[in-house]
Each structure stands twice: as C-alpha cells, then as structure tokens.
Amino acid sequence: MKKLSARRRHPLAAVVVLLLALAATGGLYAAFAPADKAQADETAQSLAIKEGHKLYTVGCASCHGTGGQGTSDGPSLVGVGSAAVDFQVGTGRMPAQQPGAQVPKKKVIYTQKEIDQLAAYVASLGAGPITPAEKDYSPEGADIAKGGDLFRTNCAQCHNFTGEGGALTDGKYAPSLEGVSAKHLYEAMQTGPQNMPSFPDTTMPQQQKRDIIAYVNSVNGDETPTPGGFALGGLGPVSEGLFGWIFGLGSLIAVAVWVAAHTAKAKKS
Ligand code: HEC
Ligand code: HEC
C-alpha cells in the first residue's frame, strides 16, 4: 500500500497524466473533427439538394420533367451542371416563359440562395460544369491584350469586336456583353447557352477565360481605350471605312473645288 501511494505521488505522475490526456484529446480530435466537418458539409449539401428539388418541382418540372429528364417543352438537365443553372437562372433566362427563337434575359426571380439550391439539385442528377468560384473568374491580373486577341478569334464573329452583340440567323442573336458580370461571362463560356458554342477548359484554359473577361470589362468600362481618337461606335472596319469615305474623300473634293475655283479666278483676271 505504502509503495503504491508513494508511486502515485511521484512528482512526474501529474506530467505523465497531463501528456496522456493531451495525446488522447489530440488523437480524438484528429479522429473525429474532420469527419464531423465533412459530415456537416454533407448534410448542408443534401439539404440544399432537397430544397432545390422543391423549388424545381414548382418552377421547372413542367418543362424539364419531374426528374430533369426533359419534355417536349424543355431539354434534359441531366449533366448540364450547376454552372448552367447558375447562368440560366441568374441571368433571368430561366424559367422560360413563351416559346420563341431564343429565350431572352429577364428579371431574375430567385434569390442567389435559391439559385444555389436549384443548382445543387440539378448537379445531383449528373456531373457537369461546376459553378466557378471568384478566383476562377476574377479578371484581376489577367492579360487584357491577350484577352483581346482571344476575343477576336473566338467571340467577335458573333458578339462583334467590342462585344455589342449582333444578329444571327432565324431571329437569333448574340447579346451585347455590356454589364454582364464576370461570373456570368465565365459560365457562358463554360456551358455555351443555346446557339453559343461552349469553351471547356480543355480547349480554353481558365487563364484564357480570365484574359477574355478582363478584355470585355476593359471595353465596357468608361475608360475604353480609343487610341485613334473617337470610338466611332466601335463597329470595326465598316464605320471606320465610312469615316474615311465621308471625311477623307469629302475633304479631297473640297480641296479640288477650292483649287478649281481659284485657278478659274486667276485665269479671268
Ligand atoms: C416554359 C418552359 C421552361 C421552364 C418553366 C423552365 N425552362 Fe429551362 N429551358 C427551357 C427551354 C426551352 C430550354 C432550351 C433553351 C435554352 O437553352 O435556353 C431550357 C434550358 C435550360 C437550361 C440550359 C440547359 C443546357 O443545356 O445548358 C437550364 C440549366 C435550365 N433550362 C434550367 C431551368 C430551371 C432551373 C428552371 C426552373 C427555375 C427552368 N429551366 C424552367 C424551358 C423551360
Ligand atoms: C456562334 C456564335 C457565338 C460565339 C462564337 C460566341 N457566342 Fe456568346 N452567345 C451567343 C448567343 C447566341 C448567345 C445567347 C444565348 C442565350 O441567350 O442563351 C450568347 C450569349 C453569351 C453571353 C451571355 C450574355 C448575357 O447577356 O447574359 C456571354 C457572356 C457570351 N455569350 C460570351 C461569349 C464569349 C466570351 C465568347 C468567346 C469566347 C462567345 N460568347 C462566343 C453566340 C456566340
């Protein structure tokens, strides 16, 4: 007995117990904490999917089918991904109203939280492009000049050189890109809405998308660089050519008339 109590009171005993306790807590934390967090994320995610399903049933199922399989009034949403939902609902295109050549942009009727829930539900139907995070689409530090080159080769044939947009065939049109957010620009490239081709990361890496966004922002900003003077509506060679014709040729004619008038006067006197 004596021996035991003596050992119990060993000066190092408290330290040993403390160390053991610390190790146990650390171990327990390591074992349980990440699991807890993952579990919390998972429940938040399944909750979002559940809420999204409710919203979907009310607002989207009539055209896209009860399980997103599509109907004669709307395409299947299996595999379109959360980015497509964020773009379509976030720009007010969806829910679509009346049939027409192209579903137009409208007032957005869902909150961003509801859009995220709808997106979570649609993403749960099949893997597709994921809604980008701010670091994916932020134009900060991107290369505007490179973006301009990329824009002219990939986008200008439909959206015009500075993104004013333009008409396509059969009543379809490429809309103006003025005032479109960086996120929606990115998502449009990711998902290729309606008659627009998609530009997945395999053909157009994220950095190039950010360069394009930086370019579009720069031509839409107030500080549009117009090194040659007036912007002439930014319509490209046509308006610039017209300017050349009217002012260039006009002033040549004026000079010719002036010269002719003066030589005539000189001859008379
Ligand atoms: C009146 C019918 C109608 C309703 C209601 C509707 N849609 Fe659509 N949706 C369409 C049609 C038609 C298209 C194809 C044209 C297009 O891409 O805009 C489409 C396209 C889409 C696309 C693009 C698919 C792709 O391939 O990229 C998404 C995403 C989408 N809808 C989501 C929704 C969501 C979410 C709702 C509910 C908030 C909704 N839609 C409500 C008719 C509808
Ligand atoms: C073949 C023609 C075509 C090309 C090429 C094209 N687009 Fe589009 N784009 C369209 C059409 C058509 C729409 C309208 C789709 C819709 O309303 O669903 C559109 C829509 C968009 C939108 C949505 C604008 C809004 O008002 O919400 C953005 C952003 C966009 N395009 C960016 C680009 C960029 C950037 C490129 C080049 C990387 C590009 N597009 C290339 C035809 C094109």
pLDDT by residue (tens digit) across 173-188? Answer: 999 999 999 999 999 9
Closest residue to atom 22 of ligand 2, CA basis: 188
Q: Which of 152, 194, 196, 208 to mutate to test the pocket of ligand 2 (most atoms within 8 A of CB)?
A: 196
Ligand 1: does its nearest atom lie under 6 Å from the Cβ of 95? yes
pLDDT on residue 222: 44
Q: How far apart are CA 208 and CA 196, in angstroms?
A: 18
Distance of CA 143 to the CA centre of its chain: 17
Ligand at shortest distance from the CA of 123: 1
Q: How far apart are CA 263 and CA 261, in angstroms?
A: 6
pLDDT level of residue 236 (50, 70, 90 thresholds): low
Give 100 Cα–ligand 1 centroid separation in angstroms: 13
Give the nearest ligand 2 atom to 187 CA.
29
Residue 2 clears pLDDT 70, i.e. is over it: no
Cβ atoms of 171 and 102 within 8 Å: the answer is yes
Q: Would you place residue 263 in the very low, low, confident or very high pLDDT band (cuts 50, 70, 90)?
A: confident
Split at pLDDT 50, 70, 90, the class of 259 is confident
Radius of gyration for the chain, computed over Cα atoms and rounded to the nearest angstrom: 32
Q: Is the pLDDT of residue 239 over 70?
A: no
Distance of CA 70 to the CA centre of its chain: 25
Q: Taking the C-alpha atoms of 115, 117, 122 and 126 in order, what is their torsion angle to the nearest 10 degrees?
A: 130
Quick one: what percent of the chain has pLDDT higher than 90?
A: 58
Q: Which of 51, 85, 94, 194 to mutate to test the pocket of ligand 1 (most atoms within 8 A of CB)?
A: 94
Q: Is the CB of 74 under 6 A from ligand 1?
A: yes
Residue 266 CB neighbour total at 10 angstroms: 8
pLDDT of residue 148: 96
> pLDDT for 101-141, tens place per residue?
899 999 999 999 999 999 999 999 999 999 999 999 999 99
pLDDT band of residue 240 (cuts 50, 70, 90) is low
- 60 CA distance to ligand 1 middle (Å): 7
Of the pLDDT bands very low, low, confident and very high (cuts 50, 70, 90), residue 268 is: low
Distance 213 CA to ligand 2 centre (A): 13
Band of pLDDT at residue 252, cut at 50, 70 and 90:
confident
Over residues 23-78, the pLDDT tens digits come to: 776 666 666 666 677 788 888 889 999 999 999 999 999 999 999 999 999 999 99
Residue of the nearest CA to atom 25 in ligand 1? Answer: 80
Please state, for a pLDDT cut of 70, what percent of the chain lies above it: 81
How high is the pLDDT of residue 27?
Answer: 65
Peptide bond into 95 cis (omega under 30): yes
Ligand 1: residue of 71, 85, 88 to mutate (most ligand atoms within 8 A of CB) is 88
Query: What is the model's pLDDT at position 128?
Result: 94
pLDDT on residue 233: 53
